[in-house]
Amino acid sequence: MDLSLMNKEQKEAIQHTEGPLLIMAGAGSGKTRVLTHRIAYLLAEKGVPPYNVLAITFTNKAAREMKDRVHALIPNADDAHKIWISTFHSMCVRILRRDISHLGYENSFSILDPTDQNSVVKSILKNRNLDTKQHHPRKILSYISDKKNQLIDPAEAMSESVGFSDGLYSEIYKDYQEILYRNSSLDFDDLIMLTIELFKKEPQVLEYYQNRFQYIHVDEYQDTNQAQYELVSLLSQKYRNICVVGDSDQSIYKFRGANIENILNFEDDYPDAKVIFLEQNYRSTKTILDAANAVIGNNTSRKPKDLRTVRQGGKKIKTILADSERAEGQEILRHVMDLSSKYSYSDMAVLYRANSQSRAVEDAFVKGSVPYKMIGGMKFYSRMEIKDLMSYLKVIQNPHDDISFERIINTPKRGIGLKTVEKLLNYGSVNELSMYDAIKEADFIGIPKGAIVTLMKLEDMIENLRKKSKFLSVTELVDEVLEDTGYISVLEKEDTLESRSRIENLEEFKTVTREFDNDNDVSDELLFNFLSDMALVSDQDSVEADSGVTLMTMHASKGLEFKVIFVVGLEEGIFPSQRVMFDEDELEEERRLMYVALTRAEDQLILSRADSRMIYGKIESNVESRFLKEIPTELIDGGVVEIDSKKAQNPFAKRGGRTHRRTPTVLTDNSGVTFKVGDKVAHKKFGDGIISNIKGEGDSKELDIIFTKEGPKRLLANFAPLEKKE
């Protein structure tokens, strides 16, 4: 087998086939290439039968990529198909399909989806006469999932429970498992937990798979939880030919149960283990790697390594200091447009700590006509909670908007069933009434009395909010809506990661409303004008999904790479986040997240922060992120710049005795063009249009344009690809 293109460490990892092996693979070091060639080497050079080889990874995408690469390396297609390459859960499904009868389940067991799980918990709560508002099913399911990932069964959970809630949830866990057992059903976490139970209960089954999988490979080992760790240990304990690949510096999933100790303690578990470091990076420039190495070097829970690259030099790291998050979005837009002459939009990505931070960047991209796509999160204005809130505002403005009213009639849940909604819609259709007006005649429609009372309360609430909208700012009105509807309180009672994220997004929405309120006086037209603005800003139908700048969280970026990376919001309290400030373990996880973000870049890094930022409707000033301070001065692109005395001092300045500045951007723009209402213009994508309104000044100047084909759009005057027509 030809290994001439491999470096020394890669070749050593491929050829070391017997006994425990830890491959500590740095970012961009070709770990997948090593894994796939190692599997092919076992077959071609060591004569290992393909059915004796197992490779486990975490995602279906990673498994598919590994399969494709292995199949390309192995001439015999039949041999390639005999190798088990799958995710942990897919592997366990295959094992359980064959032998789960030993545990009393039918071999034709079914796997519950989240909706089914939710229904089971709801039925348990109903039987126990418990209120789902006080004991939210999602929170209970999160508890059950956590116990299963720790391999804690219901009996153990009950014996270890502390306090009323913990004891109650452990009892519900017991009921839940009994229902699943009676229905011969498994949830996602059962797949691994029951496989381990099967192996421990039936030694002959475990021995069968130990003999079957004599050579085991585990990718992303730093991301394994307790259950996955136990499963791998059981399978490998007979032949001990276990090869794990990972990087302790990229362990960023603690919140999902990942245990970094699994990879750090591998040599304790296998004292005879061979350890090979892959430190040759094939992705990034030396500047980028030096920055990443400097940051991660401040962590103590790691296996030290020093990434190196053949790509010597490279552009220095650019920094952005903006006055606000809105200005930060515009600065990023400015850099993107400048770089677009050299790179395609798809070569660039903007990374942030939390999904709620995407809003300012999205606004800038929409107004600047820069296409973008979201990974690992929905677009801000498309998120369920934002659409719910917008629907309430639309109904307050226009109660005859049936599309919006149907969305909020039972949101949050108030006991209005689908049959009631259908009756209102049908009655309104026949009598040419809106749903809102149909409520007034609910007595004649055949709707139950309880539902009528609820509908009347909803109508009264909407009418009250309509009156308030005449003298409240939009931000104040939003607060009233969230309070009167109980939307926030419902999310607070759920108290899950998802509900907390939704609350954060709703609070972030107030940043949008407050910006609008600052520019507009309270009047009867205020809400109408705000909704009109939002319709223009959030119109993203023209965005091309396959060719835009990628926006995503740092967590979602793991495993990806781009020519240019923007990292935004580099401020204390944002990144690292406020909740980890005084927890050293959590802080190290945040630093690993920074390391992952930096090492996604191939050619160029742009790091950004705002002097002040509106967070959840309140303006806050946060100091420079410690992670920025950990990057050596000589790697930062800098010079001397005059700083406005009215503004806070540039946190990028005077680092190591030198003064740094934002690198000026040179690009072809419309800054020298004068636009006025009534001008005819042509846009590269939207075609011909006419300017109907102009707002703002300088870089913030916005044009409302009515396009012949695309309808109304709001674009930034200086950045939109516009041409004035005679």
Instruction: Return binding residues for ATP.
Output: 25-32
Distance of CA 153 to the CA centre of its chain: 30
List C-alpha distances in Å: 562 to 252, 351, 601: 20, 11, 5
Describe the chain by its helix, strand, coil percentages, rounded to 5.
Answer: 50, 15, 35
Q: In sequence order, what are the beta bridge partners of 425? A: none
Choose, from 15, 32, 397, 659, the residue flagged as catalytic. Answer: 32
Binding-site annotation: residue ranges: 25-32
Reading the block at residue 6, the tokens are 């491999």
Helices (H) and strands (E) in the chain, counts: 29, 23
C-alpha–C-alpha distance, residues 708 and 689, integer Å: 6
The DSSP string of 661-723 is: -PPPP----STT----TT-EEEETTTEEEEEEEEE-SGGG-EEEEEETTTEEEEEETTTS-EE
Active-site residue, 397 included: no
Reading the block at residue 498, the tokens are 């998802």
Choose, from 600, 609, 662, 713, the residue flagged as catalytic. Answer: 600
Alpha carbons within 13 angstroms on the beta-carbon side of residue 338 total 13
Active-site residue, 31 included: yes
DSSP H/E element including 607: strand 601-610
Active-site residue, 138 included: no
Reading the block at residue 63, the tokens are 């498994």
Burial code (b: 16+ CB inside 10 Å, e: under 16) for 643-667 equals: eeeeeeebbbbebeeeebbbbeeee
Choose, from 9, 10, 31, 230, the residue flagged as catalytic. Answer: 31
Choose, from 219, 249, 494, 571, the residue flagged as catalytic. Answer: 219
Alpha carbons within 13 angstroms on the beta-carbon side of residue 523 total 9
Choose, from 195, 228, 250, 454, the residue flagged as catalytic. Answer: 250
**What 3-state class would DSSP assign to 318?**
strand
Q: In sequence order, what are the beta bridge partners of 705? A: 691, 713
Q: Is 105 left (phi over 0), alpha (psi -120 to 50) or beta?
A: beta
Q: In sequence order, what are the beta bridge partners of 420? A: none
Reading the block at residue 355, the tokens are 């999904």
Surface-to-core class of residue 521, CB atoms within 10 Å of its CB (0-12 exposed, 13-18 middle, 19+ buried): exposed
Would you say 615 and 327 are in contact if contact means Cβ atoms under 8 Å apart?
no
The DSSP string of 491-537 is: HHHH-SHHHHHHHHHHHHHHHHHHHHHHHS---TTHHHHHHHHHHHH
C-alpha–C-alpha distance, residues 286 and 313, integer Å: 5
Surface-to-core class of residue 487, CB atoms within 10 Å of its CB (0-12 exposed, 13-18 middle, 19+ buried): buried
Active-site residue, 32 included: yes
Task: Annotate 72-106 with three-state secondary structure.
Answer: HHCCCHHHHHHCEEEEHHHHHHHHHHHHHHHHCCC
DSSP H/E element including 615: strand 613-615
Instruction: Indicate which residues carry an active-site annotation.
Output: 31-32, 219-220, 250, 600
